[in-house]
Amino acid sequence: MKFDTPATTNPIDQMKVVGQPLSRIEGPLKTAGRAPYAYEQHDVVPHQAYGHVLVAAIAKGRIRGMDLAAARAAPGVLAIVTAANAGALGKGAMNTARLLAGPEIEHYHQAIGVVVAESFEQARAAAALVQVDYAEAPGAHDLAAARAAAVVPRSRADSTLGDFAGAFAAAPVQLDATYTTPAHSHAMMEPHASLAAWDGDSLVVWTSNQMIDWTVGDLARTLAMPKEKVRLISPFIGGGFGGKLFLRADTLLAALGARAARRPVKVALTRPMIANNTTHRPATIQRIRIGATPDGMITAIGHESWSGNLAGGKPENAVEQTDLLYAGAHRLSALRLAVVDLPEGNAMRAPGEAPGLMALEIAMDEMAEKLGIDPVAFRVLNDTQVDPEQPARRFSQRQLVECLQQGAARFGWEQRDPRPAQRREGRWLIGLGVAAGLRNNLTMKSGARLRLDRQGQVIVETDMTDIGTGSYTIIAQTAAEMMGVGIDQVTVRLGDSRFPVSAGSGGQWGANSATAGVYAACVKLRETVAQRLGLDPALAVFADGQVRVGNRSLPLGQAAGAEGIVVEDSIEYGDLGRRYQQSTFAAHFVEAAVDSATGETRIRRMLAVCAAGRILNPKTARSQVIGAMTMGVGAALMEELAVDRQRGFFVNHDLASYEVPVHADIPHQEVIFLDETDPMSSPMKAKGIGELGLCGVAAAIANAIHNATGTRLRDYPLTLDKLIGHLPALA
């Protein structure tokens, strides 16, 4: 099915099942411990062995030699695979040659081999016996130092409109400030893990991966084998945040180890490897310039961002939201990429917008203060209903002003004193902060297969993944709504490359695209059912397990007969995404308390008001948003991958030292979804919500801290050492 015209009325609009706050259908499996994750697939194949990954102990250089003799002689060892004996490996789309290095080393903890043994303990012990002789080379490990040599990336030229330099110089009120965000780790609960088993020349991998089809293709290219000979299975994923979008070392090394040992092999990356071996959110240095008239109209807005990556990598696109969020006739946005010899920087939840808004939305508050205008009013004043850089292109839906205004009313924004450091409760300084959020709506082709049996049971099969976001539930709701059955009559099977290719989980595109793919398959099933029952598909009504036309009503399952019905279809998108700018919007409000003696910050309450198209399940959507808000607290106050600039690695690479928010850090959180449907987006009229809930949160906290203390922080994380010494004394 091709979606190239605005969606009009369709069965989804009944909202009998879709749009209802249903609990996750896989919840009982998870709470009972019966949802098998990748490393827990104990019974799917016998005689499983264990792999332990060997990683580089230098950040840059080469391996002169590896002494494997002692490791090979260790108890239980079945095989040792290195680049020297792995055979020729192809290059996948994401430079998979980096997943098994040798002799050249590009970053610390780059995988250089895998030891396979009968038990995990034996594999780990043997790995410790491997002696590696390195020739170290000097590397670049400091973004600030590498900034001078940064270049315009091939992926994005500078974007300009009008005469930014002239308009900024002429602006009566100006802001020119620099902000920094550190590198962040995904720190998901479930580590990267895979179990690989060969059957002749065919490979099956049980893994933890967000994008099944992408990874099947990359793995097949890397192993120089036909794609149809590779099967990936990933029914449950314990968090991904973008870190499991691509083929990683655990999957490749499990496959190579299993081939060498002639046994199924499971590999899990240790927690330090998640920081240093897999991908992370790169650090940024951002310069923002805003020029405005005294009455608050922005005349010039410029955003430049510097980030680092390995040679051939991409920059963090921290300027994208600035191209779209506020009006202004004269504009500049630019990215610069510096080569740094640190682990690969790549997608992490809301890539680009998350760190970009951490800077932009502080700058907007600073400008509002310069102008003497309320921060909410300043944002409303500079709203736009068209793409600022393509004025002929309107937003399909844009309710940013409504988000800000409803949020301000709900949060009690009128109680905020615009003068910083005015509200005290004992030793605590209290402040309120606001920030806008934007995340673009992306759509991807997505397919599904439906099976209908004579009992009226519907089975949905798609390689879509559930990374804890509720995919099982919203897909079941879609099928139930379309076929007129209860959700208990729908079975959803996900995460298997033998199923039709879906959008996968990432980029906030998963829910809308995957359910739209199920919708397309349901349309085909409805037509098939009606025709088999001798009914006009255009007039058929599917409800309560029956198919009705006029006074004639027949059971849904009757059409299936003894053999059942199997149909398959996918949703493909036309040019609506090019004709209309499709985005999601939010307003985040925060109340923060800062200890006037120590600088310790406590978040007291948070509110997110979101406009993100039709909300397919308010309960699972709220869960995503409060999780994202919590992630925003971490980004604001504590999360930072600290770089050893001499040795070139992330020092705090475990959950003891890489701090993330815990329950005690999180106060009352409230989420409001505006009533919105976007007919330009898909037949579901939905968009996405999982990343929007993060966009702007950290800046709202920074702005609340400024309102509480009078101290403006531009360097994340906003730790107490940056506040202490700048706090107003107790009266």
Q: Average pLDDT for residues 402-408, to the nearest whole number? A: 98
Stated as kind and residue range, the H or E segment containing 703 is helix 697-709
Give the residue carrying structure tokens 């504590």: 638
Q: Does the pLDDT value for residue 92 go beyond 80?
A: no
Please compute, for residue 121, the number of CA atoms within 13 A of its CA located in the half-sphere on the CB side. Answer: 0
Is the C-alpha dihedral spanning 597, 603, 604, 609 positive or negative? Answer: positive
How large a percentage of the chain has pLDDT more than 90? 98
In the sheet with 423-425, reading across from the earlier edge strand, the strands are: 423-425, 428-440, 583-595, 601-611, 668-673
pLDDT of 547-598, one tens digit each? 999 999 999 999 999 999 999 999 999 999 999 999 999 999 999 999 999 9
pLDDT at residue 580 in the model: 97
CA distances from 455 to 88, 444, 540 (A): 52, 33, 19
Q: Where is pLDDT greater, at 248 or 96?
A: 248
How large a percentage of the chain has pLDDT more than 70? 99
pLDDT at residue 175 in the model: 98
Residue 640: active-site member: no
Q: Are strands 446-452 and 104-105 parallel, antiparallel or unpaired?
A: unpaired
Nearest to 586 by CA among 434, 705, 718: 434
Give the residue carrying structure tokens 């955003």: 303
Q: Does the pLDDT value for residue 730 go beyond 90?
A: no
The burial class, CB within 10 Å (0-12 / 13-18 / 19+), for 88 is exposed
pLDDT of 110-122, one tens digit each? 999 999 999 999 9
Contact 440, 691 (CB under 8 A): no
CA distances from 85 to 101, 114, 138, 260 (A): 12, 11, 28, 9
| 661 preceded by a cis bond (ω within 30 of 0) | no
pLDDT at residue 729 in the model: 79
pLDDT of 366-394, one tens digit each? 999 999 999 999 999 999 999 999 999 99
- pTM of full prediction above 0.95: yes
Domains of the chain: 2-35+443-577 (3.30.365.10), 391-438+582-723 (3.30.365.10)
pLDDT band at 161 (very low <50, low <70, confident <90, very high): very high
pLDDT of 328-346, one tens digit each? 999 999 999 999 999 999 9
pLDDT at residue 523 in the model: 98
Stated as kind and residue range, the H or E segment containing 115 is strand 111-117
Contact 689, 624 (CB under 8 A): yes
Give the residue carrying structure tokens 């449950």: 236
Q: Among residues 304, 316, 640, 691, which one is catalytic?
A: 691
Tell me the DSSP string of 542-607: EETTEEEETTEEEEGGGGTTTT-EEEEEEEEE-SHHHHSB-EEEEEEEEEEEEETTT--EEEEEEE
Contacts of 412 (CB under 8 A, 6+ apart): none
Q: Does the pLDDT value for residue 93 go beyond 70?
A: no
pLDDT at residue 97 in the model: 76
CA distances from 116 to 81, 266, 278, 511, 612 (A): 8, 9, 21, 38, 47
Give 131's DSSP letter: E
**What is the overall mean pLDDT for the chain?**
97
| Helix, strand, coil % in the chain, rounded to nearest 5 | 30, 30, 45
How far apart CA 585 and CA 509 sit, in angstroms, is 15
For helices 353-371 and 697-709, angle between their N-to-C axes, nearest 10 degrees: 30
Task: Determine phi and psi for 199, rounding to 5 degrees.
Answer: -130, 95
